[in-house]
Chain A
C-alpha cells in the first residue's frame, strides 16, 4: 500500500472533526449567516481526491446527525449528507485540475485563463438566475441579494486579476461559486422533501415569505439556498486556498494530490 494512503486515512477523521468544530463552535461564536461546515471536506478533496472528499462530507453529516450525543447532535444535518458528498467530489475535481495551486504574479496566459474561467462562471450564474427566479411581478429581496453577491464576485475577481495579478485566487473564487451553486441546487429538493422546506432556523421565515408570494416549495427552498450557499462555499474555498498557499511544499507534496498543488519548478514559494 502506498504511503500516501495512510495519510489520507488520517486526514479524513481530522477533517470530519474540523468540519464539526467549525460548524458548531466557531459558527456560533461568529454568528454570521454562513455554515462553515465544509472546510474539512474541501481540504480533503483538494489534498486527497474526490472519493476521500466525498467520504469526509458524508461521514461528517452522518456522525453529526446520529452518532454524537446531544447537545452537539444536529439531526437536521443527516439528510444533507448528499450535498456534502457533492461538495467533496467537486473539491476533488478542483484539486485534480490544479485550481487550488498558488499562482501569484502570474504571466499573461494564466491571467487570460483565469479571466476565461471567471466569465464562464458568470454565464453559469446568469443561466441559474434566469431559471431560479422565474416569477411575474416585482423583484424580491432574494433576487437583490443574489445580484449583490454576484456583483461582489465580479468586482473582487476584477481586482484580483488586474490589481493583484493573482490568477489563483480568481480561479478559487470561481470554483467556490460553482460549488455553492451546486450545493444549493442539491440541497433544495432535500430540504423540500425531507423537511417540508423547514429546518428549524430563522431562514424558514424567508422560505415562507417566498411561498406566500406564490412560489412552489422547491423554488422557495432553492432561492433560500442560493442566498447562503454560494457565499459560504466561496469563503470556504478561499480560506482553504489561503492556508494551503502558506504551507511548506514538502508538507503538501506528500498528499495524493500534492503534485498538482505544488508549483513545479525550482522557485521557492
Chain B
C-alpha cells in the first residue's frame, strides 16, 4: 500500500521502481501470473491513452503526460493486487481483527468477498430464466431498456430477502452482543516481517512529506 500511495504522489520513476519491486516480489511468491493478468487488464487503458495522445495536437499534453499517467496507474494497481493475491482472505481478516479493526468491519469485508460469486451466479440464473420467458437482450435499445426492469428487480428483491435471512442467523448467534471475542486462528508473524512493516510505514511518511515539500517549493 505504501508503494501505491507513493506511486500516486510521485509518479514517474518512483512508479516504475514500485512496479519493478512488485514484479520481483510476485516472482518470488509465485504469483507473477496473476500480476501479469492485472497489468494486462490495464492494457486497453494504455492502448487507448497512447493512441489518443499520439494523435492529439501538442496542446493537449501529448505522449509524456499519457505515459506519466499510465505509470502512476500501474504503480498504484500492481502492489495492491499483489497484496490481495498473496494474502489468504481468512489470514487477512483474522489479522485485521487481532489488531482491533473490529469484528463488524471484518465481517463486512469477509461477507462481501464471499457474496460476490454468489450474486454473479444469481444474476446469471435470472438472466437465463428471463430469456427463457422471452426477454430480449439482443434487440433494439428500446427493448433492452425495457429488459432492465425484469432483470434487476428480482436481484434487488433477492438481495433484500437474503439480508433478512442472514440478519436473523447473526442475531441468533449474538453477533450484536457487546464484548471482545477470542480468535481461534492466529496468522504467522515473524520478527523480520515486523521490522519490514515499520520500515515501510516510515518510508511512506517520509515519501509523502517529501512530495508535499516539493510541491510547496515549486
Contact = CB atoms under 8 A, between A and B. Distances in A.
Contact of A70 (B37, B83, B166): B37
Contacts of B116: 16-17, 20-21, 63, 68, 72
A32 interface: yes
Interface in A17-32: 17-18, 20-22, 24-26, 29-32
A25 B151 CA distance: 11
B104 to A, nearest CB: 6
B151 A196 contact: no
Interface residue tally on A, bucketed by range: 35 or more
Given A14-B159, A30-B151, A21 B145 contact: no
Interface in A22-44: 22, 24-26, 29-32, 36, 39-40, 43
A97 interface: no
Interface string B51-67: 01101110011000110
Contacts of B41: 70, 73-75
A108 B153 CA distance: 31
Interface stretch (B17-25, B72-80, B199-207): B72-80
Given A21-B122, A198-B49, A73 B81 contact: yes
A194 B48 contact: no
Interface-centre pick from A12, A75, A78 (highest chain B CB count, 10 A): A75
A240 B153 CA distance: 9
B42 A200 contact: yes
Contact of B34 (A70, A196, A240): A70
A217 interface: yes
A125 interface: no
Interface string A187-213: 000000111111111001101100110
Nearest to A18: B159
A163 interface: no
A13 B157 contact: no
Contact of B176 (A6, A14, A208): A6
Contact of A212 (B57, B84, B127): B57
A242 B152 CA distance: 11
A78 B167 CA distance: 29
Contacts, number: 206
Interface string A201-242: 100110110011000010000000000000000010001101
Interface in B12-50: 34, 37-38, 41-49
Contacts of B118: 17
A125 to B, nearest CB: 22
Interface in B171-187: 171, 175-178
B148 A9 contact: no
B156 A196 contact: no
A5 B137 CA distance: 39
23 contacts: A1-B176, A3-B171, A6-B170, A14-B111, A14-B163, A20-B120, A22-B123, A24-B120, A25-B120, A30-B147, A36-B152, A43-B159, A66-B83, A67-B84, A69-B85, A70-B34, A75-B38, A76-B42, A78-B76, A78-B77, A194-B72, A200-B44, A242-B153
Interface of B: 8, 34, 37-38, 41-49, 52-53, 55-57, 60-61, 65-66, 68-70, 72-73, 76-77, 80-81, 83-85, 104, 107-109, 111-116, 118-120, 122-124, 127, 137, 141, 144-145, 147-149, 151-153, 155-157, 159-160, 162-164, 166-167, 170-171, 175-178
Shortest 8 CB-CB contacts between residues of A and residues of B:
A200-B44, A17-B115, A196-B69, A13-B111, A200-B45, A17-B119, A13-B112, A21-B119
